Structure 1
Amino acid sequence: MAKILIVDDSPADLRFLEDAIRQTGHSVVSVSNALDVESAVERDQPDLALLDIVMPERNGYETLRALKKLPAASALKVVFVSSKGSDTDVKWGLRQGAVDYLIKPYTPDQVATLLTRHL
């Protein structure tokens, strides 16, 4: 099974995603501060990252740009997970290098489908 990194500043969103992912049999690493993402990627070597966009300290776009510079993240697939769900937001997220975009609120089934699609 794959290792999934979740990056979100909301404890409730972290718990919901953790539960949804664990139901699929994958393992989870959670980070609540975007500034800790690089060390988590180097330490845990996840297969996929689910990255919130609206966060304090550093937003998801900035975090993705930082990951692209990190050799340990060269094969890492990133999916944006956000309440910013307009067509423009989704297109912009994909143009930044995300492989997919999951709009909040979402269901455990949507998370499972997303994981199947990218793993």
Structure 2
Amino acid sequence: MKPEFQDLPLVDNSGSHRFELTVNYSTAFMEYGDREEALALFHTEVPAQLEGQGVGSALVEKVLAEVERRGQLLIPLCPFVTSYLKRHPEWQRLVAPGYQRWFQPAAQ
């Protein structure tokens, strides 16, 4: 995560079922849903003026850290989150067992 995003707070807007990260007065967010076994991450949205600056990755990293802090597992249904997890396998430990297969190497 870029240093300029490290101290920005992640907001859990539970009423809207989304995590939010505000950068320069614009808010990126990730929609989620509570499931019995894990937290499902559905969709990540970054405002156009923040695209390409690492805001989406910072949001994902902050959400993953929060999921871990809560002792939860996650269900990565958002393509952006899935892509992030493939690039950062150290976070795959948080993926719910039924979804781990998405991150296994393809059988030869």
TM-score greater than 0.5 by the shorter chain = no
Greater RCO, 1 or 2 (C-alpha within 8 Å, sep 6+)? 1
| TM norm structure 2 | 0.36
| TM norm structure 1 | 0.34
> Quick check: which one's strand share is greater?
2
> Quick check: which one's helix share is greater?
1
